[in-house]
Amino acid sequence: MDSGFVGSTTAGYSAALPRLDFDHLRTFRTISELKDGPIPAVLDTSCVRTGLHYQLVNGRLPTSVDVVRSGRTRMFMELDTLHETWKRLPRFAGQMDVPVATLQRMFANDWLPLLSIVSVPEALRQIDERAGAVRDLDPDDYPTAALAALLSPCILLTRNHRHFHPLDVRIPSQGVDAVFAAINVKVGETQVQAIALVPAAPVLAVGATTKWAAEKVGPMAWLVLVLIVAGGVVLYQRQPPERKERIRHVASETGRLLLDEYTRASNELQQAQNQLGACVVPGPENRSATSAVFRKLAVAGESMSAQQLCDVLDDSVRPAVEPLRRFLHGNKTTVFREARRGGFVLGRQYGITTPLQT
């Protein structure tokens, strides 16, 4: 029984495994889990400070926050961290030499609508020992660490790598690096899928042109190629025999081109996935049932009921339905939001008029 509700934990990896195999399996598991819906990202106060400065200088949100609009990531913030951030805005304003009201307006209007706020109870903060290690380094970072540990593997947007070292944060830019790696993974997936959809024969003579366009324009050129191919099939069937022979020769050369491009795109996708896996907070070695529920709701495309959660969770972390239902309803004003009758999402939104200093 964990601190949330009746459940079990995964057995973890065998201690007898060599360290090299353990690390390899952990990386593989992290990459695999990151493919399950949008990637959870947890925002820390230190990253808000640098992000607001970036917004002042460039007139737009930093990519690490704005990427939420694409649906590739979902941004969360612990309620105590939100209060801390709001209280520090006057200090940030003094450092940036701007009125406090300017930063308050930017944060309330541009940042808050993209954030899901979660208030993690103390009992749940203690589930993952990594969060306790962060608390020992700096109690103010404890709420963020606890939320990140529950949602891991996830992106932790912080500049404070020293205090968050127990969560495998090693450099100040690691969270932002993870966001860009996630973007590169999406681009790589688009390239690989586009190339795989193109049959060699009807590509005709557009192969070399598309390769040039891809280098100049980007992966969208491959999507355009898919549309061109549909018309190429019809045109090929209407050609005389001698022209079809020439087309088949060109198609053979194009096939080799596509194979080269597919290999290149696959390698780049693998590199982006490895980079993402190395930059995120890794998942716990022993997943608790509470953590499994938190993470499933964090990546779910819609609200989920207790029964739906139990249906999709792995046997090793599946709680009983009734204790889970009581847990969800008992925390629906702080941790979860009941989006429909019996259906819950993780976190809640704060509007502009919400008093943050309560």
Non-local CB neighbours of 113 within 8 Å, separated by 6+ positions: 349
In a domain, 175, yes or no: no
C-alpha–C-alpha distance, residues 45 and 86, integer Å: 9
C-alpha–C-alpha distance, residues 343 and 306, integer Å: 8
Residue 344, classed as helix, strand or coil, is strand
Domain final position from 260, 279, 298 = 279
* Domain containing residue 300: 19-169+281-346
In a domain, 188, yes or no: no
| Count of the separate structural domains present in the chain | 2
- Say yes or no: 144 and 293 in one domain: yes
Domain final position from 233, 261, 279 = 279
In a domain, 128, yes or no: yes
Q: What is the pLDDT of residue 257?
A: 73
- Say yes or no: 145 and 37 in one domain: yes
In 3D, which of 116, 140, 153, 142 has the Cα closest to residue 291?
A: 153
- Say yes or no: 129 and 208 in one domain: no
Residue segments in the chain with a per-residue pLDDT below the cut of 50? 1, 6-20, 200-210, 212-213, 216-217, 354-355, 357-358
Domain final position from 279, 304, 336 = 279
- Say yes or no: 40 and 142 in one domain: yes
Amino acid in position 98:
V
* 41-74: b (≥16 Cβ within 10 Å) or e: bbbbbbbbbbbbbbbeeeeebbebbebbeeeebb
Write out pLDDT tens, residues 10-62.
333 334 444 445 566 777 778 888 887 899 999 999 999 999 999 999 999 99
C-alpha–C-alpha distance, residues 245 and 239, integer Å: 10
In a domain, 303, yes or no: yes
- Say yes or no: 152 and 28 in one domain: yes
In a domain, 225, yes or no: yes
Q: What is the pLDDT of residue 344?
A: 97
- Say yes or no: 137 and 35 in one domain: yes
Q: What is the pLDDT of residue 13?
A: 33
Q: What is the pLDDT of residue 193?
A: 79
In a domain, 31, yes or no: yes
- Say yes or no: 145 and 25 in one domain: yes
User: What single-letter DSSP state applies at residue 307?
Assistant: H
- Say yes or no: 141 and 241 in one domain: no
Q: Where does the chain have alpha helices with state H? A: 19-34, 45-58, 63-66, 79-96, 100-106, 122-125, 129-137, 142-151, 174-196, 206-216, 220-237, 241-279, 289-299, 306-312, 321-330
Residue found under tokens 């127990």:
166
pTM score of the predicted model: 0.78
Radius of gyration of the chain, Cα coordinates, nearest whole angstrom: 24
Q: What is the pLDDT of residue 11?
A: 36
In a domain, 191, yes or no: no
- Say yes or no: 266 and 288 in one domain: no
Residues β-bridged to residue 71: none
